[in-house]
């Protein structure tokens, strides 16, 4: 999201941008999801209760940030190992993420609006301000930020193309979980940047 925001706010400051696993606007779907995750944390009265609520909410986060194809491939023959992994991963993330940090970050995404910093009235108009060449890279299996959101943005950009990452890792498809995903992204980004350099 920040990549698009910078390109809208400073349209001549960069030659090219590569927004990865993102969206161009806040959506009711994502806002509903963050609200559901925040609710038990906000209703907790002590620090220990808030941390416990965050840990429990993170089980939903694990489901939303990986696609069911990934779960099928990783745990098809060992459901008990799946449960152990989820328990450990929820605890691990909860130990790194303060509940108030999580709440603040999710509210920030709820309030995300490309039009605010440039004084235009529509998302389409804000996107049209971007002068940089753009390579949009959603994950084909992202449930949290569906690829359809960047397909929506594409026709409103002056000089852009879109390449979906063919990942089974969902929202984390651009995060390096799968070496094949990383190799695909490296090839596409290198090719795009070579085109940018060749164009001068």
> Domains along the chain?
2-25+115-199 (3.40.50.1820), 29-109 (no CATH)
Cα(161)–Cα(163) distance, integer angstroms? 7
What's residue 159's pLDDT?
A: 95
pLDDT score at 61: 92
Report the pLDDT value the prediction gives residue 84, as an integer from 0 to 100: 97
Q: What is d(CA 106, CA 39) in angstroms, rounded to the nearest whole number? A: 12
Rounded Cα distance between 98 and 53, Å, is: 11
- C-alpha to C-alpha distance for 91 and 36, rounded to whole angstroms: 19
Classify 134 as helix, strand or coil. strand
Helix (H, G, I), strand (E, B) or coil at 165: strand
Residue 118 banded pLDDT, cuts 50, 70, 90: confident
Cα dihedral 37→58→112→26 (10° resolution): -70
Put simply, whether the predicted model's pTM sits higher than 0.85 gets the answer yes
């Amino acid at each position: 999201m920040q990549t698009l925001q910078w390109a809208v706010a400073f349209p001549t400051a960069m030659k090219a941008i590569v927004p990865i696993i993102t969206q161009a606007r806040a959506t009711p779907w994502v806002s509903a999801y963050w609200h559901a995750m925040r609710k038990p944390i906000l209703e907790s009265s002590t620090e220990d209760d808030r941390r416990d609520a965050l840990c429990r909410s993170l089980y939903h986060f694990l489901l939303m940030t990986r696609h069911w194809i990934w779960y099928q491939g990783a745990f098809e023959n060992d459901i008990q190992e799946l449960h152990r992994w989820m328990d450990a991963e929820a605890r691990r993330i909860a130990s790194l993420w303060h509940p108030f940090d999580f709440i603040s970050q999710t509210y920030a995404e709820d309030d995300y609006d490309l039009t605010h910093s440039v004084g235009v009235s529509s998302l389409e108009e804000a996107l049209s301000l971007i002068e940089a060449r753009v390579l949009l890279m959603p994950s084909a299996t992202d449930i949290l930020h569906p690829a359809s959101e960047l397909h929506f943005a594409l026709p409103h950009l002056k000089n852009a193309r879109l390449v979906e990452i063919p990942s089974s890792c969902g929202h984390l498809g651009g995060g390096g979980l799968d070496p094949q995903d990383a190799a695909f992204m490296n090839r596409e980004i290198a090719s795009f940047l070579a085109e940018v350099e060749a164009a001068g």
